[in-house]
Amino acid sequence: MTKKLDILRIAVAQLNPTVGDISGNLAKAREARADAARQGADLVLYTELFLAGYPPEDLVLKPAFLKACEKAAQDFAADTADGGPGVIIGTPLKRKSGTHNSIVFADGGKIIAERYKLDLPNYGEFDEKRVFQAGPEIQGPVNFRGVRIGVPICEDIWGDVDICESLAESGAEILLVPNGSPYYRAKIDVRHQVVIRQVIECGLPMIYANQLGGQDELIFDGASFAIGADKTLAFQMSQFEEAVDITTWKRQGDHWVCSEGPMSKIPDREEADYRACMLGLRDYVNKNGFKNVVLGLSGGIDSAICAALAVDALGEERLRAVMMPYRYTSKDSLKDAEDCARALGCRYDIVPVFEPVEGFLHALTQMFEGTKEGITEENLQSRARGTILMAISNKFGSMVVTTGNKSEMSV
């Protein structure tokens, strides 16, 4: 008979996986487990579809990808034969009931349980119903070293399906939830309220482990946390930072109470927005294999902010700023751009655009004859600048970044 634990040390692995990099994600998971073992963890909770990276989208439709993910999950499960912490890790799994957004629960060198996501989101940035099938039924809690643990997956706690309440009714003592919840302003408050609502319904403490990192247009901010059965914040992990944090849970009568865990300060909204932009830019550049970035520096505030963001995200050595003056460019703009580049410590080049712009105007002289000069002619400047930046990108492997000023963006 398995002896019940009175103290459970759960490590939350808030990490930054890369979509499609199964071997890299497995290596990252192993490193986190080793770290958690050194800190005395009994169990490590990873985030949604961690081995595949989230969201994997059409990769899930490739049989070879699914087989590689399952092999990685089996290999990781085998690692737990060392007597160290068990693991809960997300991966896609193909079964007779369909291809599922799943977790594997491993301990003692083997997979002791699988659980499949029931409520598949199909709105906004999510289209999981296109590539996954919902789990066929609510599956009960997993017995881990004498503790009955429920594992709903992300949307399973956001929707109206009473999954958490069902887990409580079937004997769960604590709920551990892997998530892939993207950032938007004040999203942390929304997550807290979602979890509090579920805790009120089911009466169980809930640990919410959230992915970190940028993936295309999505930014995952981490900020993992737990709400206790008393509906108070049990712990709060950092936002926009990778972490493997140990949380200590003690059995008190019929309830588990968090006695130790991080209580990180969350940035205010302006800082959070800026750090989200940094994380998104850094991951887009690095995960897509760009060496550095190139930016048109005009001397204005918008491009100066963009340059500062690039330096904060990547370092001054990975930003190439280019001033592209035309006949309307003032001496003040030239000086401001140079001062900005010098202050940031990045490379600064000057590439005049007079000849290419005049060439376009000359080519269009006959067609534009008799029309009034206006925004069309002005926009030839930005399009010429865009062409030059793209040429630099093609030649040197830099990614072009630009401001949000639509008149300055090449199309």
Q: List the catalytic residues.
A: 48, 117, 154
Q: What is the 3-state secondary structure (H, E, C) of the chain?
A: CCCCCCEEEEEEEECCCCCCCHHHHHHHHHHHHHHHHHCCCCEEECCCCCCCCCCCHHHHHCHHHHHHHHHHHHHHHHHHHHCCCEEEEEEEEEECCEEEEEEEEEECCEEEEEEECCCCCCCCCCCHHHHCCCCCCCCCCEEECCEEEECCCHHHHCCCCCHHHHHHHCCCCEEEEEECCECCCCHHHHHHHHHHHHHHHHCCCEEEEECEEEECCEEEEECCEEECCCCCEEEECCECCCEEEEEEEEEECCEEEEEECCECCCCCHHHHHHHHHHHHHHHHHHHCCCCEEEEECCCCHHHHHHHHHHHHHHCHHHEEEEECCCCCCCHHHHHHHHHHHHHHCCEEEECCCHHHHHHHHHHCHHHHCCCCCCHHHHHHHHHHHHHHHHHHHHHHCEEEECCCCHHHCCC
Contact 42, 85 (CB under 8 A): yes
Sheet holding 110-116, edge to edge: 110-116, 98-107, 86-95, 43-45, 7-14, 243-252, 255-260
Angle among Cα 82, 18, 139 to the nearest 5 degrees reads 60
d(CA 180, CA 90): 10
